[in-house]
Amino acid sequence: MIQKQDFKKISQNLWEIPKEFSPEMRTPARIYASEEMLTKILEDRSVNQLINTASLPGIEKHSMAMPDIHEGYGFPIGGVAGIDTKTGVISPGGVGYDINCGMRILLSPLQEKEITKYIEKLSQEIQESVPSGLGKGRKTKTDISFLNKILQKGSQALVEKGYGDQEDIENCESKGRMESADPSTVSDRAKQRGRDQIGTLGSGNHFIEIQKVEKIFDEQAAKEFGIFQNQVAVMFHTGSRGLGHQVATDYIKEMMKAMNKYKIQLPDRELACAPFNSPEGQRYFSAMSAAANYAWANRQMIAYHIKKSWEKTIGKEKPTPLYDVAHNIAKKENHNNKELIVHRKGATRAFPPNHPEIPEKYKKKGQPVLIPGSMGTGSYILKGTEQGKESWHSTCHGAGRAMSRKQAIKTISGQEIIRELKGKGILIKSKSNKGVAEEAPQAYKDIDQVVEIVHQANLSKKVAKLIPLAVIKGD
Amino acid sequence: MKYKQIDHPADIKVRVFGKTKKEIFLNALKALNDILEPEIEEKQTQEEIELESTSIENLLIEFLNEALYFTETKKEIYQDIDFKEFNDEKIKATLYGQAAKEFKQEIKAATYHELEFKKQDDQYQTTILFDI
């Protein structure tokens, strides 16, 4: 049982388990959290998982966790590990099953008062045009040759076909395409699962929200990002769907065998990994990149349908993309003149001003970072900072669960939540009361507190807060 | 008891019981089905499976992910297993089930997280974490 005494306090919101704590640790493990949050974090097994993460061969500096850390499997959710590509490993368990699950936000040129009367209709239209639910696909199946193109080129493949504009590509992490993708490393099974799911939301905590800008913290950055008070925006959360789940399943199985071959021993099977430069490691990286491209294409198609729905109900002045970020991914990045494979599982990349990999128009202020809160609460837009280098330029990804789904269903009424939120002027579109209870605000940590920690720790800085007007839940 | 659900902050964890290893496979499949909350239709279905793995634990997870793959792509749910061949590293079987109109819960995968097969008082048990 890990206790608070086992931690060394590094600064106000940074805690460390020293390397000496366990013989398996190759580096210390660090958590960004307030003292109060740390007490809560110790209630589940997430710190054990962070300690396990510190045992991965080639890990540099520390295993790290963001303040929204909670228990997952393999890595904790909110976990970050930078691993030397020359000497270290790549672990599918450090990315998870929903490869490139992430966020995108579209900003409209309109204020809340200009669209109030259209909210119901717009939500309805979006709900009808973006299918949700397990394995729920679109009516038409993409042919395999176009699917391969999507795996290769990500959202660029869709834009070339008319499902978007050049600005969608520009304003997206990695321009919506990881060059390392190789469709031949993705199994036929994964491809079959992906054929009818481009442009689908999925279920669980996936959502589309119509929001308004409630507060601006950084006037200058907001201006550069095109954000203004009371502005209406559409934010959504989804990933690579069944295709990504299958890629993870296929490669965790393969890594399990590779572990014996490379004589790697780890405290949890779910951390299964292979040297980054081994055939198994490279194949996984190519397949994961392809699944990441699929996720960007999925979000691109959803953005296309949102814009269509907007056009149909409100008309002109469609929303345009601010940015799109991944929060379950492993990427090759240069940090301190070393190439690392940075695993972010429930963590968001937050590059600083002037970083070569961010769009020209954000160079002055830093990369926009999108952090959703729980259903019916606020979401944040932040910006990357220079000081973020201590976390490999990573920040939090959301509120983080505080209550199990089982507990939530037992103690919270979905219908009551819908009524409560309606009272606050928030419309909930969901086919499942149980799903609403699972995702109730009470089941999550307080997003304001989580964001405050990364803001104070300078991992990323607050630009604006948005609150929902309508939520279309993945059922 | 075939299985019981254990609290987990984000996903679904179940402890599965069985007098034999075969029963563990059957009860784990039952847990998977119950989590999915399918809307079952009358049409009967069956699926042949054949898997090889490195241990009974890994075989169980790969078996569940195999069933999950067919469940999602064919919209079917499997309630019974006819084992043709079964040992710690191999399973050859026919899965019997029914078509399903839809599922209320999505499962991304069965995970290998802290997986362990234990035998206690003549009964096997194992804990499985499903990523949902």
- Answer whether A447's CB lies under 8 Å from A398's CB: yes
B41 has a pLDDT exceeding 70? yes
The partner residues of B4 in beta bridges, in order of sequence, read: B15
**Looking at the 3D structure of chain B, how many domains does it have?**
1
What is the arithmetic mean of pLDDT over B71-84?
93
- Segment holding A323, helix H or strand E: strand A320-326
Interface predicted TM-score of the whole assembly (ipTM), two decimals: 0.89
* Predicted pLDDT of residue A135: 61
- DSSP single-letter state for residue A176: G
DSSP string, A184-203: GGS-HHHHHHHTT-TT---S
* Predicted pLDDT of residue A401: 82
The verdict on a CB contact (< 8 Å) between A97 and B109 is: yes
* Predicted pLDDT of residue A278: 97
Dihedral angle computed from the Cα positions of residues A126, A128, A133 and A135, in that order, rounded to the nearest 10 degrees: -110
CATH number of B124's domain: 3.55.10.10
CA distance A80 to A94: 8
Dihedral angle computed from the Cα positions of residues A313, A223, A456 and A329, in that order, rounded to the nearest 10 degrees: 60
Q: How many beta-carbon contacts under 8 Å exist across A and B?
A: 104
Q: How many residues does chain A have?
A: 475
Classify A355 in phi/psi space as left (phi over 0), alpha (psi -120 to 50) or beta.
beta
Please choose, from the candidates A17, A5, A26, the residue with its C-alpha nearest in 3D space to the C-alpha of residue A267: A26
What is the arithmetic mean of pLDDT over B7-11?
79
Retrieve residue A276's tokens: 């980054």
Retrieve residue B13's tokens: 């964890």
Facing residue for B108 by CB, picked from A98, A269, A401: A98
B88 has a pLDDT exceeding 80? yes
pLDDT one digit per residue (tens) for chain A, 475 residues? 899 999 999 999 999 999 999 999 999 999 999 999 999 999 988 999 999 999 999 999 999 999 999 988 889 999 999 999 999 999 999 999 999 999 999 999 999 999 999 999 999 999 999 988 666 677 778 899 999 999 999 999 999 999 999 999 999 999 999 999 999 999 999 999 999 999 999 888 899 999 999 999 999 999 999 999 999 999 999 999 999 999 999 999 999 889 989 999 998 888 999 999 999 999 999 999 999 999 999 999 999 999 999 999 999 788 999 999 999 999 999 999 999 999 999 999 999 999 999 999 999 999 999 999 988 899 999 999 999 999 999 999 998 888 888 888 889 999 999 999 999 999 998 888 888 898 888 888 899 999 999 999 999 999 999 999 999 988 7
3-state helix, strand, coil in chain B (%, to 5): 25, 50, 20
List residues of B whose CB lies inside 8 A of any A CB: 5, 7-12, 36, 53-54, 57-58, 62, 65, 69, 71-73, 75, 102-109, 111-115, 129, 131-132
CA distance B69 to B58: 16
* Predicted pLDDT of residue B10: 78
Retrieve residue A209's tokens: 């929200």
Smallest CA–CA separation between A319 and chain B, in Å? 31
The verdict on a CB contact (< 8 Å) between A406 and B111 is: no
Residue-wise pLDDT for A312-349, tens only, equals 999 978 899 999 999 999 999 999 999 999 999 999 99
Please choose, from the candidates A306, A360, A350, the residue with its C-alpha nearest in 3D space to the C-alpha of residue A325: A350
Q: Which amino acid is at A446?
A: D
CA distance B104 to B97: 18
Average pLDDT of chain B, as a whole number: 92
The partner residues of A115 in beta bridges, in order of sequence, read: none
Retrieve residue B63's tokens: 């078996």
Please choose, from the candidates A193, A180, A209, the residue with its C-alpha nearest in 3D space to the C-alpha of residue A98: A193
The verdict on a CB contact (< 8 Å) between B113 and A77 is: no
- DSSP single-letter state for residue A141: P
CA distance A217 to A461: 9
**Dihedral pair phi/psi, residue B47, rounded to 5°:** -145, 135
Retrieve residue A448's tokens: 């304001």
Facing residue for A270 by CB, picked from B10, B12, B113: B113
Please choose, from the candidates A403, A430, A409, A407, the residue with its C-alpha nearest in 3D space to the C-alpha of residue A419: A430
Paired sense of beta strands A460-473 and A427-429, if any: parallel
- Answer whether A394's CB lies under 8 Å from A401's CB: no
CA distance A382 to A451: 9
CA distances to A18, A59, A81, A150, B96 from A347, in Å:
22, 17, 10, 25, 41
Q: Is A343 a catalytic residue?
A: no
The verdict on a CB contact (< 8 Å) between B107 and A248 is: no
Domain A4-402+444-473 listed as CATH 3.90.1860.10: yes
Question: Cβ contacts (< 8 Å) between B65 and chain A: which residues?
Answer: 249
Tell me how many degrees the CA angle A21-A78-B126 measures, rounded to the nearest 5: 70
Selecting among A70, A245, A397, A455, the annotated active-site residue is A397
CA distance A55 to A28: 9
Q: What is the CA radius of gyration of chain B?
A: 14
| Residues 6 or more apart whose Cβ sits within 8 Å of residue A256 | A269, A272, B54, B58, B112
- Domain range spanning residue B45? 3-131
Please choose, from the candidates A8, A202, A20, A233, the residue with its C-alpha nearest in 3D space to the C-alpha of residue A108: A233
Retrieve residue B2's tokens: 């075939």
* Predicted pLDDT of residue A134: 63
Smallest CA–CA separation between B108 and chain A, in Å? 6
| Residues 6 or more apart whose Cβ sits within 8 Å of residue A38 | A4, A7, A15, A31
